[in-house]
Amino acid sequence: MKRYIIVDDEHIAHDIIKGYCDALPHFRLVQHCYDAIEAMECLRHNEVDLVFLDLNMPKLKGFEFLRVLQNPPSVIVTTAYQEHALEGYELNIVDYLLKPFSFERFMKAINKLDTVKTEAPTANSSKSEDGLFLRSNKKLIQVKRDHILFIEALGNYVKVVTRSNEVQVREKISDILSLLPAQEFFQVHKSFIIAKRHINEIEGNRIFIGEHIIPVGKTYRSNLSKMFRS
């Protein structure tokens, strides 16, 4: 369950973000907060996993609020001001959404949640439960990361092959790779990403995963060395 709050002084922003979150399983709104002081009080008395944070607010600006938090939850900035993006990433935010943002752009931010704070996992975090939300045929499908066998590029689409099924999404393979833990997933061919944990054997330029045979591209052979050092 992802428990989130929305910190924004505009009611329409709350409506949009909550509407997007309502489409996601396991997302639960803790509280609507309309300024940073209200948000601080909420965080003091509730467990919160994610904050949707506006920057231009009364009393205390968004980044000023973020700096005073000792152990902040994950933060996705939602703002109309592009010029503060660099400052946000220096504060280790998950993503920086410029208003107005689409549902597709919102989902890219959501999919980054479990990859940004890998250096400081919480006691409640569990890699085996980490999910990747994929949009396929106008539906949102959650795929467990540890269930992914490999990912294959197919023209303008990407096929995600898991233990039990396949999901086809309209994405670039490089965009999918950026959402996955670098120590667990490796690109071994221009069209293939493999999950290290599911490798059965490696023979020459071929990787065997279950009944699947994955080719290793010449320019990606160095990734095999990285795989065994990780």
Model pLDDT, residue 80? 86
What is the side-by-side order of every strand in the sheet holding 212-215? 201-203, 206-209, 212-215
Rounded Cα–Cα distance for residues 50 and 125 (Å):
13
Rounded Cα–Cα distance for residues 6 and 145 (Å):
27
Model pLDDT, residue 86? 59
- Which superfamily does CATH assign the domain made up of 134-229 to? LytTr DNA-binding domain (2.40.50.1020)
Structural domain spans, the chain: 2-116, 134-229
Rounded Cα–Cα distance for residues 212 and 160 (Å):
13
User: Residues 92-115, buried b or exposed e (16+ Cβ, 10 A)?
Assistant: ebbbbbeeebeeeebbbbbbbbbb
Model pLDDT, residue 122? 36
Q: Name the CA radius of gyration of the chain, rounded.
A: 20
Question: In the chain, which stretches have pLDDT less than 70?
Answer: 83-91, 114-130, 229-230
Take residue 58 and report the two structure tokens written for it. 């009364």
With a CB cutoff of 8 Å and minimum separation 6, the contacts of 108 are 95, 175
Model pLDDT, residue 87? 60
Sign of CA dihedral 113, 119, 125, 128: positive
With a CB cutoff of 8 Å and minimum separation 6, the contacts of 64 are 36
Model pLDDT, residue 4? 97
Label residue 65 exposed, middle or buried (CB < 10 Å: 0-12, 13-18, 19+). Answer: buried
Name the residue among 7, 2, 63 with its Cα closest to residue 36.
Answer: 7
Take residue 172 and report the two structure tokens written for it. 């670039």
CA distances from 165 to 110, 137, 201 (A): 23, 15, 22
Rounded Cα–Cα distance for residues 133 and 125 (Å):
17
CATH for 2-116, among 3.40.190.10, 3.30.379.10, 3.40.50.2300, 3.30.950.10? 3.40.50.2300
Rounded Cα–Cα distance for residues 144 and 130 (Å):
6
Is pTM beyond 0.75 here?
Answer: no
